[in-house]
Each structure stands twice: as structure tokens, then as C-alpha cells.
Structure 1
Amino acid sequence: MIGIPLGWAYSNFGEWALHKYVLHDLGRHHGSFWGFHWHEHHQASRKHDMVDDEYLRSLWTWSSQTKELLALAALALAHAPLFPVAPYFVGTVWACAANYFRVHRRAHLDPKWAREHLPWHYDHHMGVDQNANWCVTHPFFDNLMGTRREYVGVQPAAGERPVAASPAHP
């Protein structure tokens, strides 16, 4: 049963590291496969106050949503050989991948829900510095690594983009 908390911590670290080093570092380069994250997903989210309507498209189209799902499926498949020796760990990693897609999709279709339930992810997209708040499902590794930056409900400094406070963050 130790595989469950280990799988959760591993998955949360994976969110943090992949988001920071792959989706942002590699994704900033035009032409990179990962470029969809920065050049499409972040731009749409900023332009439409967190909403990314790519999540409304069919899964049979080549879109940011499809690329995200394929990356998650590849990560899940890569862990499959460990299943016979660590079923709880692998099962938790798979559950975390499914949960990641579920909450990430909802956050970008329902900004009010995101501000209330995932303020760290809302802050990632709508805050002044989009190079912080790397975790999506839980801010554990952002807190541990010192990369959690709170913006919702915080008065912006001179010259910074204001962020609307939600009812959960007066």
C-alpha cells in the first residue's frame, strides 16, 4: 500500500518537473512539439480569462487537448511494465494522470471553478509571472520547491497586470 502515497508524490513531482522543464523550457521554442503549451494554451488562457476552448474540440482533431492526452497516455504506458511488481504505485500514477486531465480541462472551461478549487493553477495562467505555480492538481511540489506564487486577490505592484479576486480569495 506504500505505493499509493509514493505514486501520488511521484505524479505531483512529475507535474511540476514536466510543466517547468518540458512544457515551458522546451515549449517556448517555435516548432517544438511542446510549443502548443506556451504558444497556444497560454495565449488562449490569457486572452480569454483562463478559458481555452481547445478543450471543447473533438478528441479526433489535432489540438492542444489531443496532444496533452497523448502525452499522458504515453506516460501511463511507460509505467505499465512496473505494474506486476508495483500495482498500487502504477495504479496511482494512472489515476493521477486521469485526474490531471479531468481537472485541467475543467479549469480551462470553468474559470470560476478553477479560482475556487485550483487557485495555484489559475495563478499560473492569470498571475503576473507565468513561470511559477507549475503544479496543476495540488501545489505540494510548488510549495516544497518554493515556486508557489499567490496572485489571486493580491494587490498588484505598479505596472503589473491586475488579477481579479475570487469569492474564495477576498
Structure 2
Amino acid sequence: MIGIPLGWAYSNFGEWVLHKHVLHGLGKHRRSFWSFHWHEHHQKSRRHDMVDDQYMRSLWTWSAKTKELVALAALALAHAPLLPVAPFFVGTVWACAVNYYRVHRRAHLDPAWAREHLPWHYDHHMGKDQNANWCVTHPFFDLVMGTRSEFLGVQPPAPPEALVVAPAHVA
């Protein structure tokens, strides 16, 4: 059972490391596979008050959404060999990967929800410094590593009715 809290902490640290060093580090180079994060996802989010319409696209298009899903599936698959010896750890890592996609997607389709439930992620995209607030699902490792910077409180609140995007089709 110790695998559950270890899997959660490992996953949160993984969010922090991968977001900071892969998605922002390697992702700033246009020729990198990871460039979708900085050059598509961040630009759309910044221009459209946190909304990234790629989350409304079909799963059968090669977009930032499908690249994110492929990366999460690859990470989940990479942990599969540990399943026989650490089932609770692996199960937690897999659950965290599903949760990551679920909350990240919702945050970019419903910014009012993100402001309330994931203010650290909202701050990551909409704050002055997009090179802070690396965690998405929970700010634990941002707090541990000293990279949590609050911007939400210094911005004027947006009217909630202007923030919600109702997807025509949710995949």
C-alpha cells in the first residue's frame, strides 16, 4: 500500500520535471517533438484567455492534444514492467496519468473552473512568468522546489460567463 503515496509523489515530481525540462526546455526548439507545448499550446492559451481549442479536436488528428496523449500512454507503458512487483505504485502512476489529462483538458476548456480549482496552472499560462508553476494536478513539488508563483490574486477577475467554452463534441 505504500506504493500509492509513493506513486502520487513520483507522478507529481514527474509533472514538475517533465514540464520544466522537457516541455519548456526542449519544447522551445521548433524542431523538437515537444515544441507543440510551447509553440502551440502556450500560444493558444495566452491568446484565448486560457482556452486551447485543440482539446475539442478529434483524436484522429495529429495535434498537441494527441501528442500529449501519446506521451502519457508511452509513460504509462514504460511503467508496465513494474506491475508484478509494485502493483499499487504502477496503478497510482497510471491513475495519475489519466487524471493529469482529464484536469489539464478541462482547465483549457473551462478557464473559470481552472481559476478556481487549478489556480497554479492558470497562473502558469496567464501570469507574468510562464516559467514557473510547473505542476498541473497539484502544486506540491512547485512548493517544495520553490517554483510556485502566485499571479491570480494580482489580476482583475474575469467575468465567469465570458470564460466557459462549450465544446461541440467532447471526445
More contact order relative to length (CA 8 Å, sep ≥ 6): 2
2:24 maps to a residue whose letter is: H
Aligned to 1:86: 86
Q: 1:165 offset after TM fit, Å? A: 3.0
Matches of 2:28 and 2:50 in 1, distance apart?
Answer: 19
State the Cα distance separating 1:31 from its structure 2 match.
Answer: 1.2
CA RMSD of aligned residues (A): 1.0
> Paired residue for 2:167?
none
Counterpart of 1:103 in structure 2 is 103
Q: TM-score, normalised by structure 1?
A: 0.92
Q: Which residue of 2 aligns with 1:77?
A: 77
Q: Percent identity?
A: 82
Aligned to 2:134: 134
Q: Which residue of 2 aligns with 1:164?
A: 156
Q: Is the 8 A contact 1:133 1:148 kept in 2?
A: yes
Q: CA deviation at 1:164?
A: 3.2
- Assess if the C-alpha contact under 8 Å between 1:152 and 1:166 holds in 2: no
C-alpha distance in 2 between matches for 1:143 and 1:2: 23
In structure 2, do the counterparts of structure 1 residues 150 and 87 end up closer, same or farther at CA, with 3 Å as the change threshold? same
Task: Using structure 2 for the length normalisation, give the TM-score.
Answer: 0.91
Gaps in structure 2 of 5+ consecutive residues? 160-171
2:62 counterpart SS class: coil
Task: Name the CA shift for 1:19/1:153 in 2 (closer, same or farther; >3 Å).
Answer: same
After superposition, where does 1:19-168 map in structure 2 within 5 Å? Answer: 19-154=19-154, 163-165=155-157
Asked if 2 retains the 8 angstrom alpha-carbon contact of 1:100 and 1:137, the reply is yes
Closer/same/farther in 2, CA of residues 49 and 166 from structure 1, 3 Å limit: closer
The amino acid across from 1:165 in the alignment is P
Structure 2 distance, partners of 1:96, 1:20, is: 18
Deviations 1:76-103 (A, max 9, x none): 0000000000000000000000000000
Moved >4 Å (runs of 4+): none
* Structure 1: gaps (5+ residues): 155-162
| 1:13-45 Cα shifts (integer Å, max 9, x gaps) | 000000000000000001110000000000000
Q: What whole-Å deviation, never above 9, does each CA across 1:56-90 have from its counterpart, x for those lacking one?
A: 00011000000000000000000000000000000
